[in-house]
Amino acid sequence: MKAPEAPFPLHMFVFHSDGTVQQSNPDAGDPNTSDSDLMGAWRPNGDGFKGRLVEITADRTTHQFVSRGEISFTVKVSGNAFSGTASAVFYDANGQQVRGPLQARLEGERVSP
């Protein structure tokens, strides 16, 4: 999927039939924190699906915890194409909101063998 407003605009999502989802993008996409892998859950929603991903970020220099990000998304499906929106909120180690909500558009297409 493309998420133009994200620190790195290209992501790979894998939606498993058990309702879990994994997302990955290059670790170098954000020069300050490691945020390349996210995991979460999804469920059908009309002509698409919605879900939530959680990411844990660490400082690239100190390797210390930076934040927990929660990204909610809604995606519509049309054939092999996807489009939708996402909203991200970030929290510190004490659960206090430190950033967001940040909005992003999502566009992509199904990977086929």
Q: How far apart are CA 91 and CA 112, in angstroms?
A: 36
Higher pLDDT, 59 or 87: 87
Share of the chain above pLDDT 70, in %: 91
pLDDT at residue 35, rounded to an integer: 66
| Tens of pLDDT, residues 62-105 | 989 989 999 999 999 999 999 999 999 999 999 999 999 999 99
pLDDT at residue 78, rounded to an integer: 94
Question: 27-31, 34-38, 48-52: which has the minimum mean pLDDT?
Answer: 27-31
